[in-house]
Structure 1
Amino acid sequence: MRPLQVGIIGLGRSGRDIHGDVVSRLPELYQLAAVSDPMEERLRRAEQEWGCATYTDYRSLLKHEGLDLVVNASPSHLHVPISLEILESGLHALCEKPLAHRAEEVDLLIAASERTGRRMAVFHQSRYVPGYQQLLQVVRSGVLGRIVQASFRFNQFVRRWDWQTLQEKNGGNLLNAGSHLLDQALQLYGPGIQPDVFCRMDKANSFGDAEDYVKILLTHGSGPVVDLEISSCDAYAGYEYQVQGTRGGLVGTRSELNWRYYKPEEAPHRELVTEPISHADGSPAYCSERLIWHEESWSLPAEEESLIYPSIAAVYYRMLYEHLANGAPLEITLQEARRQLAVTEQCFRQNPDYAIGHRN
């Protein structure tokens, strides 16, 4: 086993603070060999912190001898063309979210990966958020019964004025924070299932022209209604997850969950009554009973809560190493990313004011 040699394109918030940080913390798996960014001050800082080679032009980085993997942390609207160049250069590629503008662009990446024999991955690290993983365990255990609705929230009250508020740069809440929520939410449907979509968008506190409020409802057959909300105008943001089931429910956040449920064998026997229900004295009555509720909870240790995002990035990178070095399955596939982008395309079609880059 040897550390994989890594190059990073782009030293912004994700390139430096997420990818550069996690790669430098996993020396047994990766070695940060080279970085590129057009801003000289970022390169000087990289030289001081990591002692790696630096390039102002990412195409020069792609020629750096000995690279195995290149991380594409360029601005969102450049993700597809630069990822294609990485693959065509004979290197494995890891791309930040959003992977692409459209589902058909993912097909180009899949074809390039197959043609070159190089692996292509997308950084959907939020699949490994502890609260979400615990939610899946509870749902799959069956204690909540059949899931009727699952709600996912990424809400806050915030104003934003950077490039990620611009449609022309693939900005907006749907393709950014929404990438994480959709990746989580779609796991509640079976593999390959493409749900029906209802979506409304708005621009509330953004200084650009991209949306910063998104409401999505997903449905498929008898499966659960999935309710997603990404809002920059929620002054009372609360839970991140809520699940409603036929035997109970769950509510919580990435670091704390509570759920309650009843056991059918402990519930009073009931049969449908078609006549009016009355008390013993003949007065009208409502259906009323006492169920035995079982309540459980889960929480991260306080000292781990502030480390959630570095931790899940490390989990992702360990998984990716096992895939690239040892042939283990890639747990988050391009086909899953394609399904997600097919949903976002429907959202943009229903909201044409926010669809630059998505219009036919």
Structure 2
Amino acid sequence: MKRLNVGIIGQGRSGFDIHAHLLKNMPGRFKIAAVCEPDAARLDYVRNILECDGYMDYHEMLQRQDLDIVVNASPSHLHVPVSLEVLEAGHNLLCEKPLARYVADVDKLIAKSRETGKLFAIYQQSRFAPYFEQVRKVIDSGVLGRIIMVKIAFNGFSRRWDWQTLSEFNGGNLLNAGPHPLDQALQLFGPDTMPEVFCLMDRVNTLGDAEDHVKLILHGNDRPTVDLEISSCCTYPLYTYQVYGANGGLTGNMEHMEWKYFKPEEAPQQELHRDPLPGRKYCGESLKWYSKKWHVPESKSQLYDTMGAAFYRNLYDALTKGAPLAVTPAHVRQQVAVIEECYRQDMAGC
């Protein structure tokens, strides 16, 4: 198995706690060859821990010829310009989310990737979340019938005062946490078409100027309605997923799911009555319900490690075998288009 050399730009929460952590635990596939971090003390610490080369200026690291891929974990507002430089320097690229604030910037990155012939990937690891895979499995089985609505809630209660609360740094719930559930939502809606978008955003407990409460509705012809919340002012989060189907439904969180359904062929045959039912009765029938449950396996109980390792395995196969990326730039372009429309509506006061 070929071992790929990786360079990482940025050694903050994402660069060190996520990417360096994951790559260090996949030694058969990846080797961290170099990191870049402008903070000298942090760089010395990380370089000793990871036993790799270190740079304070990422431009110096990009001059290397031995890197198989560069991870861009710079601050969010630098993702687009730094990613363009990585591709221009002739490196394969993995960029952290949020990729961009505008579709035009995504198009620039896609064009640069094609121009240079280099792989361009975006770190959207929640596509590999065990709970999401289970939701898709139940929906795809057909037991719930036609899917009418999917409700997704990435909610909790927190107050924040760091740089990710500022719009100038591409902060706020929609760009910070939002790409995770929005990527899932668009897969369930259908990645082949742009949904109609309705969005409401608010600032509640944040000390910055970016939103910390988002309500987003996606809808379209012959598509399920998707109701997505990303709120930091929900003290009683009830679920992560709820699915409404013609023959049943699903509810659950990241660790536990349950669903029930009836089989139409076993349901009583009914006829439409134009006249009032005898005895002033309401409609009533007895359906035979089938119930099932899912618990996250112990082997996948460490959510972030499970998602991240699955993402990096797919990335490794793409680099070494030409396998297709599970999360494509086109998928993320659709996501950014929805985000851009949300901010347009917010600015217009829609």
Shorter-chain TM band: over 0.9
Instruction: Report the equivalent of 1:202.
Output: 202
Residue 199 of structure 1 contacts residue 347 of structure 1 at CA under 8 Å; is this kept in 2?
yes
Q: Which amino acid aligns with 1:73?
A: A
Q: 1:29-71 deviations in whole A, cap 9, x for unaligned?
A: 1100000111112211212211100011111111134111000
Distance 1:65 1:188 in 2: 40
Map of 1:11-26 to 2, 5 A cutoff? 11-26=11-26
**In the superposition, relative to structure 1, how do residues 353 and 173 fare at CA in structure 2: closer, same or farther (>3 Å)?**
farther
Q: Does the alignment pair 1:133 with 2:133?
A: yes
The number of residue pairs the alignment matches comes to 349
For the residues of structure 1 that align with 2:336 and 2:300, how far apart are their CA atoms? Answer: 32
Instruction: Please tell me whether residue 326 in structure 1 is matched to residue 324 in structure 2.
Output: no
Compute the displacement of 1:314 (Å).
0.5
Task: Work out the CA distance in 1 between the residues paired with 2:41 and 2:314.
Answer: 32
Task: Quote the residue 1:155 is aligned against.
Answer: 155
2: CA distance, partners of 1:224 / 1:300: 26
Worse-matched range after superposition: 59-68 or 336-345: 59-68
2:220 corresponding residue in structure 1: 220
> For the residues of structure 2 that align with 1:303 and 1:136, how far apart are their CA atoms?
20
Could you give the per-residue CA deviations for residues 55-98 of structure 1, whole angstroms, max 9, x where no partner exists?
11111111134111000000000000000000011100000000
| 1:97–1:179 CA contact under 8 A, matched in 2 | yes
Cα pair 2:35 2:47 within 8 Å, conserved:
no
CA contact (8 A) 2:191 2:334 kept: no
Query: Does the alignment pair 1:295 with 2:303?
Result: no
Tell me which residue corresponds to 1:309: 304
Which of 312, 315, 332 is residue 337 of structure 1 equivalent to? 332
Following superposition, the deviation at residue 191 of structure 1 comes to 3.4
In structure 2, the residue matched to 1:57 is: 57
Post-superposition offset of 1:192: 2.0
Matches of 2:25 and 2:256, distance apart in 1:
27
Shift of residue 142 of structure 1? 0.7
Instruction: State the Cα deviation string for residues 141-193 of structure 1 (Å, max 9, x = none).
Output: 11001111001111001001110000000000001111011100001133321
Judge conservation of contact 2:84–2:112 (CA < 8 Å) in 1. yes
Paired residue secondary structure (2:183) = helix
Which stretches of structure 1, 4 residues or longer, exceed 6 Å deviation after superposition?
none
Query: For the structure 1 residues 304 and 334, does the alpha-carbon distance in structure 2 shift closer, same or farther, using more than 3 Å as the test?
Result: closer
Match of 1:349 in 2: 344
Alpha carbons 2:3, 2:29 under 8 Å: kept: yes
- Classify the secondary structure of the residue corresponding to 2:251: strand
Aligned equivalents of 1:61, 1:160: Cα separation in 2: 33
Distance in 2 between residues matched to 1:163 and 1:36, nearest whole Å: 20
TM-fit CA distance, 1:253: 1.2
Deviation at 1:353, TM superposition (A): 7.9
1:173-322 superposed matches below 5 A: 173-278=173-278, 283-302=279-298, 304-305=300-301, 307-322=302-317
1:44 corresponding residue in structure 2: 44
Distance 1:256 1:58 in 2: 42
1:302, distance to aligned residue in structure 2 (A): 4.8
Contact 2:189–2:225 under 8 Å retained in 1: no
Cα drift, residue 121 of structure 1? 0.3
SS in 1 for 2:319: helix
Contact 2:152 2:242 in 1 (8 A): yes
* Larger mean Cα displacement after TM superposition, 294-303 or 315-324: 294-303
Question: What SS does the corresponding residue of 2:172 show, helix, strand or coil?
Answer: coil
Contact residue 157 and residue 231 of structure 1 kept, 8 A? yes
What pairs with 1:165-180 in structure 2 (closer than 5 Å)? 165-180=165-180
Cα deviation, residue 223, structure 1: 1.2
C-alpha distance in structure 1 between counterparts of 2:245 and 2:259, whole Å: 11
Residues 219 and 226, structure 2, Cα contact 8 Å, conserved in 1: yes
Contact 2:62 2:86 in 1 (8 A): yes
CA displacement at 1:274 relative to structure 2: 0.8
In structure 2, give the amino acid aligned to 1:320: L
Cα gap change, 1:336 to 1:208, in 2 (>3 Å): same
Write the letter of the residue equivalent to 1:284.
Answer: R
TM-score (ref. length: structure 2): 0.98
1:5 aligns with 2:1: no
How far is the alpha carbon of 1:195 from its aligned partner?
A: 0.3
Identity across aligned pairs (percent)?
Answer: 51
Alignment partners' CA distance in 1, 2:221 and 2:200? 22
Q: Secondary structure at the match of 1:98?
A: coil
CA distance in 2, matches of 1:326, 1:302: 30
SS of residue matched to 1:351: helix
Query: Is contact 1:34–1:64 with CA below 8 Å preserved after alignment?
Result: no
Runs of 5+ unmatched residues, structure 1: 355-360
